Structure 1
Amino acid sequence: MGTRPSMTISVRIERPVRQVYAYLSDPTNFAAWASGLGRLTHQSGNRWIAETTGGGSAEIRFSPQNAYGILDHLVLLPDGRSVPVPMRVIPNGDGAEVLFTLFQIEGMSDEVFAGDADWVARDLAQLKAVLEEG
């Protein structure tokens, strides 16, 4: 299988790193900034079901809360594929930096991958707005 192309997209947020992590570690907040997701319903443990904007749903398994800023999650698609989503919040001065790594999954064209990267960048800009202005 080998490695897949990847891209890490980041955004600076002028809020304390602990505040940013606390917000992001609560899956119910994702709908406020992640445009591809609607309401999330808790299943059990770290398992949630997300309504997607396309009218479907996907299971998401979130990392447990931790002291390291790790927000990794695994998206289980209806077709059986799983998509790892590494995500971190790290200190940046008095604020925070959110890093989101996107992988080009098997069968995804370069154009779709670039479009997904643009989508993630817009979502992270929305996250910044929610946390800094809200």
Structure 2
Amino acid sequence: MSTTATTARSVTKTVRIDRPVADVFAFLADAANWTRQVPARVVPNGTGSEFMITFFQPPAFTDTFFDEQTALVDTELATLKQVLESGA
């Protein structure tokens, strides 16, 4: 058995949202709006917010598959930004 510590490859995606932190946090806290269980943060940035989400590569994922999956998140982040900024 190996005792060497290892870390998983990770990718963090960020999107600036022109809404207060409290609004973004409230939206994300509602399970109906955000159903994934992933590490995420919302921090203030001027009058808006930065939403950051980190994905860790499971050992069973190839680098190519992990890259493909995390690339899909860009579309989801754009949708999140649009929904929150439009007030929908």
Length-normalised TM-score, structure 1? 0.58
Higher helix proportion (structure 1 or 2): 2
Q: Which amino acid aligns with 1:28?
A: A
Which of these residues, 23, 26, 45, is aligned with residue 27 of structure 2? 23
Runs of 4 or more, structure 1, over 6 Å off, are none
Distance (Å, rounded) in 2 between the aligned partners of 1:102 and 1:121: 13
Query: Could you tell me which amino acid in structure 2 is paired with residue 125 of structure 1?
Result: A
More strand by share: 1
Report the Cα offset of residue 115 of structure 1: 0.9
> By how many angstroms is 1:120 displaced?
1.3
Larger radius of gyration: 2
Cα RMSD (Å) of the superposition? 1.4
Unaligned runs of 5+ residues in structure 1 are 31-36, 38-59, 61-72, 74-84
Secondary structure of 1:4's aligned partner: coil
Query: What is the TM-score normalised by the length of structure 2?
Result: 0.87
Percent identity between matched residues is: 43
Counterpart of 1:27, as a letter, is A
- Displacement of 1:122 in angstroms is 1.1
Tell me how far apart the structure 1 counterparts of residues 74 and 58 of structure 2 sit (CA, whole Å). Answer: 18
Structure 2, unaligned runs of 5 or more: none
The 2-side partners of 1:112 and 1:25 are apart by 29
Which residue, 97, 102, 112 being the options, matches 2:50?
A: 97
Tell me which residue corresponds to 1:114. Answer: 67
Aligned length: 83
Higher relative contact order (Cα pairs below 8 Å, separated by 6+ residues): 2
**Cross-structure match for 2:8:** 4
